[in-house]
């Protein structure tokens, strides 16, 4: 990293922590906040690269968690790892110029990750899932299909209309899917070990809640990353031409 990258990391981390706390509106689902602020490190990852995006997100989410629930162990377990990995992937893929084949493979990977995290547990344990979440299998499937379907439609449309955003969109879906999967399992795992009458989790979470956490995380973050990110990134590059990094040849991953 250069000195500039370190300064940018500090700026992004501060924005992520403060804006994230101001825009979550106190809304949480099984301990996971409503999180439109996910677009902030996604923008920085696209502009400055994967290490800046991942590192700033990890630092920012830790600061935000200290402002919100004050449990450093929970943040180290379920906050920092998924945030770093998610935005590292977004930054890495964005800086690659994907071929049509790589675009297809990346989209398939994203769908498999999301499907494995949301559909399979819901179908295997529908009664338990409905009892814990209050959502029927049908409702869960509608939410899942609508969110993923809309994301893929956006990716396809943007890839045809604005090819320059193809890599960013694919990276966002893959990164968001993997990040949400890690977070949902980490939250469940943390609740198994560190629950108490005075703690963040009063009792261990059932495994059937993992897909619910996954769906909530993916569905409440990906729309902001896909829709808000490109125009802001474009405006930043127009204002600061030095942010236009040279891309590698087509197919270089």
**Of 28, 35, 46, whose CA–CA distance to 82 is shortest?**
35
Domain spans of the chain, in order of start: 3-243
**Of 176, 181, 206, 171, whose CA–CA distance to 119 is shortest?**
181
Condensed to tens digits (0 to 9), the pLDDT of residues 201-223 reads 888 888 777 877 888 888 889 88
pLDDT over 90 (residue 40): yes
Q: Who has greater pLDDT, 228 or 159?
A: 228
What separation in angstroms does the CA of 92 have from each of 96, 138, 252?
7, 36, 11
Query: pLDDT confidence of 75, banded at 50, 70, 90?
Result: very high
Condensed to tens digits (0 to 9), the pLDDT of residues 100-114 reads 676 677 667 666 666
Q: Which of 21-35, 82-96, 101-115, 190-204 is the least confident region? A: 101-115
Q: Is the pTM of this model over 0.85?
A: no
Give the Cα separation of 41 and 34 in Å (integer).
16
Give the Cα separation of 245 and 231 in Å (integer).
17
């Amino acid at each position: 990293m250069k000195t500039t990258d370190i300064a940018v990391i500090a700026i992004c981390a501060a924005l992520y922590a403060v804006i994230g706390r101001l825009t979550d509106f106190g809304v949480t689902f099984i301990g996971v906040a409503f999180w439109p602020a996910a677009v902030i490190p996604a923008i920085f990852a696209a502009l400055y690269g994967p290490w800046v995006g991942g590192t700033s997100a990890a630092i920012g989410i830790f600061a935000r968690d200290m402002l919100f629930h004050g449990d450093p162990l929970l943040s180290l377990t379920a906050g920092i790892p998924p945030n770093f990995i998610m935005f590292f992937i977004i930054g890495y893929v964005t800086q690659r110029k994907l071929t049509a084949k790589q675009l297809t493979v990346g989209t398939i990977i994203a769908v498999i990750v999301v499907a494995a995290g949301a559909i399979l547990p819901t179908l295997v344990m529908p009664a338990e899932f409905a009892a814990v979440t209050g959502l029927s299998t049908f409702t869960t499937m509608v939410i899942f299909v609508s969110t993923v379907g809309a994301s893929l439609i956006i990716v396809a449309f943007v890839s045809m209309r604005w090819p320059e955003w193809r890599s960013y969109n694919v990276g966002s879906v893959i990164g968001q899917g993997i990040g949400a999967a890690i977070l949902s399992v980490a939250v469940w795992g943390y609740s198994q070990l560190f629950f108490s009458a005075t703690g963040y989790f009063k009792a261990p979470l059932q495994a059937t809640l993992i897909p619910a956490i996954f769906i909530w995380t993916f569905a409440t973050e990906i729309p902001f990353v896909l829709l808000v990110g490109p125009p802001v990134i474009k405006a930043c590059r127009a204002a600061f031409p030095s942010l236009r990094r040279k891309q590698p040849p087509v197919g270089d991953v």
